[in-house]
Amino acid sequence: MDFSLSPEIIALRDKTREFIADQIIPLENDERKSHHGPSEELRRELVGRARAVGLLTPHASKEMGGLGLSHIAKAAVFEEAGYSWLGPTALNIHAPDEGNIHLMEEVATVEQKERWLRPQVAGETRSCFAMTEPSPGAGADPSMLATTAVRDGDDYLINGVKWFITGADGADYIIIMARMEDGSATMFLSDMDRPGITLERNMDAMDACFTGGHGVLRFENLRVPASDVLGEIGKGFRYAQVRLAPARLTHCMRWLGQARRAHDIALNYVSRRHAFGKPLAEHEGVGFMLADNDIDLQTSRLHIWHTAWLLDQGEKCNYESSRAKVACSEAEWRVVDRCVQMLGGQGVTAESPVMRIFTDMRAFRVYDGPSEVHRWSMARKLVHAAGKTSS
């Protein structure tokens, strides 16, 4: 495996790094945000700045208006974008839009792409993805899907409740996962302003980096034309894997940038701050934390690049993306947690960006499947493979 970057990728990485430092980090304290994320006004300004320098939606295909990056190139660029919690929003690579763009490129019809995808790639619209439901509906176990879709003439009527739907507030369109009468699952596309969709509330969450926050949605006889089915009837769970395997990895890429930012801040602080006659960095306990941070950052990067390389070879990588998701979410979380400890009082106040990174990142170990579910899934596959070998 050759993980060396081409001169073109290096130039794009460096361009992204400069853009984030010069134009995005200065906006982190902008008042146009709330606990539910950047406002639409701020989002449009961020997107406009990325568009002006040619960095908008780099993962989308060139045909749709993106840069058509490979997974390895995304690894380099997304990490740099993630150095600021506003960076993914600026480049239009934030969740859930990044994953939805990938899914739409793979599955949507030409007409659906022109209607919903092309404006999204241009940064003009946002989307959300509705699968998670309150108990006893789907969560970590998607087979418990409770939202239903029933055929009614040339349409489908959708009924159910979804929650923790990232970006729902202010989204222009939605991808809905619903159960069919035969028990299979199907994805449906809908504009968010259709009758039958109600945003009941936004949930207060630890993170504040996603435009639109996390909403609770109710569908009451939402009428969706058959032409707005995404892909084929009954293949919703298969399409969910098309979306989730790369999306888990891009989460790892973006949060790696945040973890690196926290480490840089902590390293600078402990190099200057003195206690007991010398800089904090010269105390063994602090030095060990710095070394462990470096190990976790590089280990995360290698997991990302290895899986990205496999994806670029055309591999499905569901197992590898689960492994990367667990390894990176936990390693990057350890990095930020150590940074809080090294910063002391500065780490638990808004005086430093590290507190914000800490509260945003904790949810990463839950998003796109908690670590325990991924471990359970991996173990099943390992045991199955061992059984095939022994037989």
Q: Which two tokens stand for residue 231?
A: 């892909």
Cβ(85)–Cβ(206) below 8 Å: no
Cβ(198)–Cβ(220) below 8 Å: yes
Give the Cα separation of 290 and 270 in Å (integer): 10
Per-residue model confidence as pLDDT tens for the chain (391 residues): 777 899 999 999 999 999 999 999 999 999 999 888 999 999 999 999 999 999 999 999 999 999 999 999 999 999 999 999 999 999 999 999 999 999 999 999 999 999 999 999 999 999 999 999 999 999 989 899 999 999 999 999 999 999 999 999 999 999 999 999 999 999 999 999 999 999 999 999 999 999 999 999 999 999 999 999 999 999 999 999 899 888 899 999 999 999 999 999 999 999 999 999 999 999 999 999 999 999 999 999 999 999 999 999 999 889 999 999 999 999 999 999 999 999 999 999 999 999 999 999 999 999 888 999 999 999 999 999 998 877 6
Q: Is 210 exposed, middle or buried (0-12, 13-18, 19+ CB in 10 A)?
A: buried
pLDDT of residue 52: 98
pLDDT of residue 391: 65
- If phi > 0 it is left, if psi is from -120 to 50 it is alpha, else beta; for residue 204 that is beta
For residue 104, give the nearest of 38, 145, 60, 167 by alpha carbon: 60
- Residue 367: which residues within 8 A CB-CB, separation 6 or more? 95, 251
Length of the chain: 391
Q: Which two tokens stand for residue 291?
A: 């070394």
Q: Which domains does the chain have, with CATH numbers?
A: 7-94 (1.10.540.10), 127-234 (2.40.110.10), 237-390 (1.20.140.10)
